[in-house]
Amino acid sequence: MSTIARLDTRLLRVPLTRPWAADVTAVRVIATHVVRSDGAEGWGLSWTPQIGAEAVHALLAHDIGRAAVGRSAVPGAEWQALWEHLHEAGGGGITTIALAGLDLALWDAEARASDLPVSLLLGRRRDSVRAYGSGVNLHYSQEELVAQVQRWVDAGFPAVKIKVGRAALAEDVARVAAVREVLGPGRELMIDANQRWDLERATRAVQALAPFRPAWIEEPLRAEDLAGHAELARRIDVPIALGENLHTVHRFGEFLRAGAAQIVQPNIVRVGGITPFLRIAALAEEHGAALHPHLLPELSGQLALTLSGNVAEPWAEDVEDAGFGELGVLADPSPVAITDGRLTELPHHGLGMRFADAAAVRKRFPIR
C-alpha cells in the first residue's frame, strides 16, 4: 500500500480581471503537491477569495502535513481521521478548506498513476454538462448588468445567474425585469441574494421577483439560519438553493431533513474535497434534492460529469472572467472547455490543475 511521503504547499495571489467588488480584486489559492511512497505525484488546491488564506496555508503546512505523512495515500482512506484530528480547530470552514488541498492532490495522484482523468476514475456518466453564466455583479449599474447578460446570451448560455439584494427592493425588481427581457422566455434565470435578507425581507422580495420566473433563489438568509430557511420554504414557491457556505455533510443533512433547501450547491473545496463531496451528493439524492456544484468550473465541472442526475441534470457555474485557465495561472491548458452553454473535458490526466511554478507565479502575482 502506498503512503503519503511528502506534502508541499505554496500560497498564491491571483488578480481578477473583473473585480468582484471595490475591495475584492484578487483571490487566494494554496497550491498543493503530494508525493506518494511509490513515487506517484498529485497536485491539488485550497481556495478562499479573501479571508483565511494564510490560516489555511498554515494548517496544511503544519498540522495536516505532519499528521498525513506515513498514512495511506488511497483517496478518502484517511479523510475522516484527519478531519477528527483537526476538529479542535473547528469542524468546518478553514479546516475543511485546508483538507481539500490534500484530498484533491491524493485523487489527482491516483488518477495520474492510472493514466486517467479523475472523472473516469470516479465513473463518468455523461460527456458534457450544461453551464450557466454567473457574475458577481450587484455593484454593476443596470446598464452594465444588462450588457453582461447580453454577453452570456451571445455566447450561447441557456441560463444566467445574477445578484440581488440592493438597498431598495424596487431596484432589484427593475434589474431582474431588465435581465428577463434580455433572456426572453426560453432561458433560465437564477437569482442570488448572498445572505443579504432576513426572513420578512426575503418573503417580500421573492414574492415580488416571482413573476420573472426565477429557477431558484440562492442564499436568501444567513447561511447558518436553518430554521429561517425552513420557514421561508413554507412561504414561497421558488426553490431555495444553498450550500456554498455549508462545510460538512452533517450540515447538509440537517438542512435537507428540515426541508430548508430543494437545491444544494456544495463547493468542492469548502467541504473538504472530492471525498466528502461524494457523500453530500449521495445524501442529496436520497432526499430528492438537486445538486449543482458551486463555482470553480475547472474542478466542479469534472465532478458534475460523474453525478447521477437522477433528480436533475447538474449545472456547472461559470463566473465571467474568473476561471483559473482564463486568469493564466495553470501550468497546463485548462482541463475543461465551455462552448454554447455546455462544459466538456479536454484531454488531461488527474484533475489537470497544476498551478504554474512558484517563481513564475510570484513574479506575475506577488502576495500583498
Task: Give the pairing of strands 4-15 and 26-36.
Answer: antiparallel
The answer to whether 294 is a known catalytic residue is yes
Provide the edge-to-edge strand list for the sheet that holds 41-48.
Answer: 4-15, 26-36, 41-48
Active-site residue, selected from the candidate residues 57, 161, 292, 294: 294
Number of residues assigned to the chain: 368
Rounded Cα distance, 190 and 176, in Å: 10
Rounded Cα distance, 368 and 126, in Å: 42
Rounded Cα distance, 90 and 97, in Å: 11
Helix (H) or strand (E) holding 290: strand 290-291
The identity of residue 273, as a single letter, is: G
Cell 483565511, located at residue? 52
C-alpha cell at 209: 421577483
Rounded Cα distance, 201 and 206, in Å: 9
Rounded Cα distance, 335 and 342, in Å: 14
Active-site residue, selected from the candidate residues 33, 57, 161, 163: 163
The answer to whether 363 is a known catalytic residue is no
Instruction: Determine the distance from the C-alpha atom of residue 231 to the mean position of all C-alpha atoms in its chain, rounded to a whole number.
Output: 26
Catalytic residue numbers? 163, 294
